Structure 1
């Protein structure tokens, strides 16, 4: 998913004149994006493993449709090695990377627990401390408080 400006370096060639022309054409908008404020930890990246692509897509669609997240990336073909019921297990799984508001992690967890086929579904989240301000704003715009 691309949100924002395309890469400009190849067009500008690193020259001062190129950058000056760019600044004149787009004005202060470029700088206002960089100066937007963000409250550290207001958003989270959550991770859920799934047994297959079908489960992953079903969960991802449900999560986004219910506005529990702005975006879910589906990462195919990961290998998980873990201990379960006293034995070391190794399984091929699919990973969901979920971008949401931190205030939605509890509801996200409830949704996954209700709709996931695993007896104990993985739902972990990490706070986002920094990032691209326009992207973080997009998450806030898509996922209501």
Structure 2
């Protein structure tokens, strides 16, 4: 693994969830086709337990993990907010601290930096 180079686009992993495999795959495909993410992985089902409107809820959900860059984050977030059917969808970005140089180069090539 290598550290990201100073000045290089920062790689991110971005997570969202939805209530069906079909919706998760559509969200994943839409972002990759728009080149907002180089890759999106769908996993699930997962059990989510959360507070919503003064109650504790439990739901079966599917998780989508996107690989993108800091420069594409705003466009990916806007895309997810427009495409998602949740009132308040989970959209969380985490910086990639380490990664293989070849993978990070591929990611940047696929999504660009703007």
TM over 0.5: yes
Query: Does residue 139 of the first structure (1) align with residue 104 of the second (2)?
Result: no
Q: Is contact 2:2-2:98 (8 Å) kept?
A: no
Aligned twin of 2:10 = 42
**Structure 1: gaps of 5 or more residues:** 1-33
Aligned twin of 1:58 = 26
Aligned residue-pair number: 112
Measured in 2, the distance between the counterparts of 1:83 and 1:108 equals 26
Larger Rg: 1
**Structure 2: gaps of 5 or more residues:** none
Aligned twin of 1:9 = none
**Shift of residue 38, structure 1, vs aligned partner:** 2.9
Higher relative CO (Cα under 8 Å, sequence separation at least 6) belongs to: 2
**Shift of residue 104, structure 1, vs aligned partner:** 1.1
Q: Is contact 1:44-1:127 (8 Å) kept?
A: yes
Partner SS for 1:46: strand
Q: What is the TM-score when the length of structure 2 is the normalising length?
A: 0.91
Measured in 2, the distance between the counterparts of 1:142 and 1:41 equals 12
| Gap change, CA 1:63 and 1:88, over 3 Å in 2 | same
**Shift of residue 115, structure 1, vs aligned partner:** 0.6
Q: What is the TM-score when the length of structure 1 is the normalising length?
A: 0.72
Which has a greater percent of helix? 1
Deviations 1:53-110 (A, max 9, x none): 1110111110000000000000111110000000000000000011001111111111
- CA-atom RMSD, angstroms? 1.8
Measured in 1, the distance between the counterparts of 2:4 and 2:80 equals 31
